[in-house]
């Protein structure tokens, strides 16, 4: 019950902050516009296709990849690090519920509200730019995969943020995570368009499960193998986040009051 | 001018006070820039050329953008915070000083993170953009004009807060739009978006037109950038000062 309340609180807070929400959605639309212009130029130069993708498929790929990364800003890692570093987390530890569980429930509620806004606005924009989704009915699967991607991103960010229990400062980790998602996760370029050797390194990694997998489903190039990989990373991500916080909370020492 | 330079020197010393953090932030921003270069490298490896642009053109584009952002957002860091400063009345601290407020505001804060852009851009140009003396001269002129365009645009959109209120959200959106659209090749955009890049969000004058000039110098295009910079500076200056006349402090710093 506590987790459901935390989830709903996160969602309500996000929907109430209309200025922030519209800025985020506006930025996402701008990114879709810029990236779709890039891929349009590439597709025109290559007879309408880039690798296995048509222009329309690339636009839907970008839309879903963005809608899985924009709603969970990588700064979450910095926030967690600051809460741990400043000792603020000690207050949350007084509650009769898991610190990381409540935190993740709030973040999931907030991120899901943002993701739906991004998918609705981004989907309408992508439709305008490139017509209906090329995946057809499979777009519904893409929405489900996008939710799993969101959960994985939250779990991984909490696992990384928890490093602050040992280092006292995990602020820089968010930056590394963001860059890994951009290139290694396939936000900017679908991973199967990379040179084969590079793609075979990135595709099995969790970053690909956050952006490349939902993007592929939206473009009609998804496979159940990718979803199985995503589910495996989800288990590893949540397991690691809970383990890191459980160990970290035991060694936390807060001075002062 | 002297007071602005002295303030800039103090702001720089302040940013440098924590040396480890200062260097670390510079390195982080350089890593960010490298990630973009990697993306464009992979993109052009896949497509060869697109709309007349090659990977080399993108290198020139990024060397311009990173240095413009390094100077504009690094040395005149407050240019992107004018909206927020008006909203929370923190410009009051400058208004009581016997100096011109806009210049003083712009020089008050140095952002070390963006100085990483400055270092990266200069190295990128010298290492990978065929730096002959003529090209270096033209590149420097384009950088200086680009800084004028960027800083003036950000002051202009930030000054809207004097008239429309809010916490400077529109300025944040303008800032993000300018930086985002300037980091993509101009010729990839067509129709209304291209018109937008030459008018409401003048990103074309920061990277697109300068890259074209670096390929083949055309006096008309150069004059266009100079005119754009002059118009934006006039707009920014007049909007800020008209806004100041309407401004009534929230007296936050007195509380």
The 10s digit of each residue's pLDDT in B141-174 is 999 999 999 999 999 999 988 888 777 777 888 8
Expressed as residue numbers, the domain containing B76 is 2-254
Calculate mean pLDDT across residues B9-26: 71
Neighboring chain B residues of A23 at a CB cutoff of 8 Å: 169, 172-173
User: What band does B255 get if pLDDT is binned at 50, 70 and 90?
Assistant: very low
Cα atoms in the Cβ-side hemisphere of radius 13 Å centred on A219: 27
Between chains, do A42 and B43 touch, taking CB under 8 Å as contact? Answer: yes
| Per-residue pLDDT tens over the stretch B117-135 | 888 999 999 998 889 999 9
Using the Cβ of A32 and the Cβ atoms of chain B, whether some distance falls under 8 Å is answered with no
| Cβ-based neighbours of B153, under 8 Å, separated by 6 or more | B174, B178, B201, B202, B232, B236
Please answer whether residues A45 and B50 qualify as being in contact, where contact means their C-beta atoms are separated by less than 8 angstroms: yes
Query: Is residue A255 over pLDDT 60?
Result: no
Using the Cβ of A182 and the Cβ atoms of chain B, whether some distance falls under 8 Å is answered with yes
Query: Would you say the C-alpha torsion B11, B14, B18, B19 has a positive or negative sign?
Result: positive
User: What band does B1 get if pLDDT is binned at 50, 70 and 90?
Assistant: low
Q: What is the ipTM of this complex?
A: 0.71
Query: Is residue A78 over pLDDT 80?
Result: no
Please answer whether residues B106 and B78 qualify as being in contact, where contact means their C-beta atoms are separated by less than 8 angstroms: yes
CA distance A23 to chain B (A): 6
d(CA B142, CA B213): 9
pLDDT of residue B253: 52
Partner residue opposite A30 with nearest CB, options B166, B172, B177:
B177
Q: DSSP 3-state assignment of A30?
A: helix
Please answer whether residues A151 and A108 qualify as being in contact, where contact means their C-beta atoms are separated by less than 8 angstroms: yes
Neighboring chain B residues of A46 at a CB cutoff of 8 Å: 47
CA distance B172 to chain A (A): 8
Residue with tokens 């084969």: A196
d(CA B90, CA B96): 11
pLDDT of residue A17: 85
Domain count, chain B: 1
Between chains, do B35 and A51 touch, taking CB under 8 Å as contact? Answer: no
Q: Which of B172, B162, B146 has its CA nearest to residue B232?
A: B146
Q: Which of residues 39-78 of A touch B (CB under 8 A)?
A: 40-42, 44-46, 50-51
Distance of alpha carbon A34 from its chain centroid, rounded?
20
d(CA B153, CA B171): 9
Percent with pLDDT over 90 in chain B:
41
Residue with tokens 């509380």: B255
pLDDT of residue B166: 73
pLDDT of residue B254: 45
């Amino acid at each position: 019950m506590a987790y459901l309340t935390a989830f709903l609180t996160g969602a309500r807070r996000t929907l109430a902050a209309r200025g922030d929400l519209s800025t985020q959605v506006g930025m996402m639309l701008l990114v879709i516009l810029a990236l779709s212009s890039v891929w349009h130029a590439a597709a025109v130069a290559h007879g309408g296709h880039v690798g296995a993708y048509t222009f329309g498929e690339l636009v839907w790929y970008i839309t879903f990849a963005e809608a899985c990364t924009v709603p969970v800003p990588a700064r979450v890692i910095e926030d967690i690090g600051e809460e741990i570093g400043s000792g603020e987390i000690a207050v949350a530890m007084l509650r009769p519920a898991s610190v990381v569980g409540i935190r993740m429930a709030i973040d999931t509620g907030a991120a899901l509200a943002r993701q739906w806004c991004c998918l609705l606005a981004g989907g309408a924009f992508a439709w305008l730019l490139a017509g209906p989704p090329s995946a057809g009915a499979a777009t519904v699967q893409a929405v489900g995969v996008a939710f799993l991607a969101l959960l994985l991103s939250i779990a991984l960010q909490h696992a990384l943020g928890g490093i602050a229990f040992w280092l006292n400062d995990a602020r820089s980790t968010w930056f590394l995570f963001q860059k890994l998602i951009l290139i290694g996760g396939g936000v900017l370029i679908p991973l199967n368009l990379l040179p084969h050797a590079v793609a075979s390194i990135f595709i099995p990694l969790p970053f690909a499960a956050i952006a490349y997998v939902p993007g592929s489903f939206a473009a009609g190039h998804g496979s159940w193998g990718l979803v199985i990989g995503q589910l495996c990373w989800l288990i590893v991500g949540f397991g690691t986040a809970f383990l890191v916080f459980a160990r970290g909370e035991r060694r936390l020492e807060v001075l002062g009051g | 001018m002297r007071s602005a330079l002295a303030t800039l020197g103090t702001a720089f010393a302040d940013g440098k006070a924590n040396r480890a953090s200062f260097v670390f932030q510079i390195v982080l921003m350089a890593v960010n820039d490298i990630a973009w270069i990697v993306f464009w490298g992979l993109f052009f490896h896949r497509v060869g050329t697109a709309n007349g642009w090659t990977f080399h053109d993108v290198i020139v584009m990024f060397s311009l953008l990173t240095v413009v952002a390094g100077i504009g957002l690094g040395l005149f860091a407050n240019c992107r915070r004018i909206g927020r400063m008006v909203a929370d009345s923190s410009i009051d601290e400058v208004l009581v000083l016997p100096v011109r407020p806009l210049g003083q505001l712009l020089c008050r804060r140095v952002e070390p993170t963006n100085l990483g852009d400055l270092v990266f851009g200069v190295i990128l140009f010298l290492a990978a953009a065929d730096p002959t003396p003529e090209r270096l001269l033209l590149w420097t002129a384009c950088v200086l004009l680009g800084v004028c365009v960027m800083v003036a645009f950000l002051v202009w959109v930030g000054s809207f807060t004097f008239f429309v209120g809010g916490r400077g959200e529109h300025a944040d959106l303008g800032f993000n739009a300018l930086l985002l659209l300037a980091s993509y090749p101009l010729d990839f955009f067509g129709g209304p978006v291209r018109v937008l890049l030459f008018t409401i969000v003048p990103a074309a004058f920061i990277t697109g037109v300068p890259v074209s000039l670096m390929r083949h110098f055309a006096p008309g295009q150069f004059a266009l950038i100079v005119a754009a910079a002059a118009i934006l500076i006039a707009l920014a200056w007049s909007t800020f000062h008209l806004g100041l006349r309407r401004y009534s402090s929230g007296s936050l710093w007195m509380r």
